[in-house]
């Protein structure tokens, strides 16, 4: 098992054991693809039988035989089932995960170092699913998929703006152009300029700041566009630099935050 996902299991395991009965635990791990035959001898009987602790130890042993992909799938399904069946366990699970550097986004478990999930309400709602998926894919080593999902988050946001602002067909514009026109249509820069004036900024301070902010957003969109073109190959046939994938996700967050601020 991968060390980082073992950490997630450690946090999930404690919540899982405390909130579910012996047979619920068996049912959920079975749904998650666990080999129930390996723990078939563990039964809970009146006046004796196996304890929940012994059952969880049996699950731990069985998980050691899983490959990375199967283990990641197991973690994802168990987390979803725990939160679906016992939504009251969310706070406890979130606390356990946060101590180990992980967090919940919806029913997905993602590393805190990728996103602070508290910022999600500040982003366009139509983009949150794809951005969560991008973080999950980065976590799971699907680097090209992470790029595609990060760009997809901006596709969703800019499509909504194109529609509401009557900008035409967004599919006929490049990714960079879509981002640039969407920022212009939402008026984020003039609004920001006004807010800076209210804070006491002078014109000679605002003008270069505005120019560089617009340039940064445009260049970030170009970076994402280029990464999508050259590293977003879903077949995994192109070389990918993980550091650039992380940058792609952060650019997506920055641009989406700018778009949301004025919606």
E strand residue ranges, 51-101: none
Phi, psi of 174 (to 5 degrees): -70, 160
Give dist(CA 80, CA 82) in Å, integer. Answer: 6
Q: What is the pLDDT of residue 262?
A: 47
pLDDT in tens, 15-64: 899 999 999 999 999 999 999 999 999 998 877 788 999 999 999 999 98
CB neighbours of 222 closer than 8 A, spacing ≥ 6?
176
pLDDT in tens, 202-242: 999 999 999 999 999 999 999 999 999 988 655 454 556 77
Q: What is the pLDDT of residue 58?
A: 94
pLDDT in tens, 68-100: 888 888 988 898 899 999 999 988 888 888 777
């Amino acid at each position: 098992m991968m060390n980082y996902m073992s950490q997630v299991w450690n946090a999930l395991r404690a919540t899982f054991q405390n909130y579910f009965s012996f047979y619920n635990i068996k049912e959920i791990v079975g749904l998650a693809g666990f080999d129930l035959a390996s723990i078939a001898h563990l039964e809970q009987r009146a006046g004796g039988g196996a304890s929940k602790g012994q059952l969880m130890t049996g699950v731990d042993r069985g998980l050691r035989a899983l490959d990375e992909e199967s283990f990641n799938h197991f973690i994802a399904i168990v987390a979803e089932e725990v939160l679906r069946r016992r939504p009251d366990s969310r706070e406890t699970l979130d606390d356990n995960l946060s101590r180990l550097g992980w967090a919940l986004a919806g029913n997905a478990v993602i590393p805190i170092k990728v996103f602070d999930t508290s910022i999600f309400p500040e982003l366009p709602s139509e983009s949150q699913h794809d951005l969560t998926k991008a973080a999950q894919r980065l976590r799971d080593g699907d680097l090209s998929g992470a790029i595609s999902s990060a760009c997809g988050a901006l596709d969703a946001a800019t499509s909504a703006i194109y529609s509401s602002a009557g900008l035409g067909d967004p599919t006929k514009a490049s990714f960079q152009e879509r981002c640039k026109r969407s920022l212009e249509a939402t008026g984020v820069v003039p609004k920001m300029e006004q807010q800076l004036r209210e804070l006491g900024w002078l014109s000679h301070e605002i003008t270069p700041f505005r120019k560089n902010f617009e340039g940064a957003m445009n260049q970030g969109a170009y970076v994402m566009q280029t990464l999508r073109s050259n590293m977003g190959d879903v077949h995994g046939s192109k070389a990918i630099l993980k550091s650039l994938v992380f940058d792609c996700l952060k650019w997506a967050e920055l641009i989406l935050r700018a778009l949301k601020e004025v919606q």
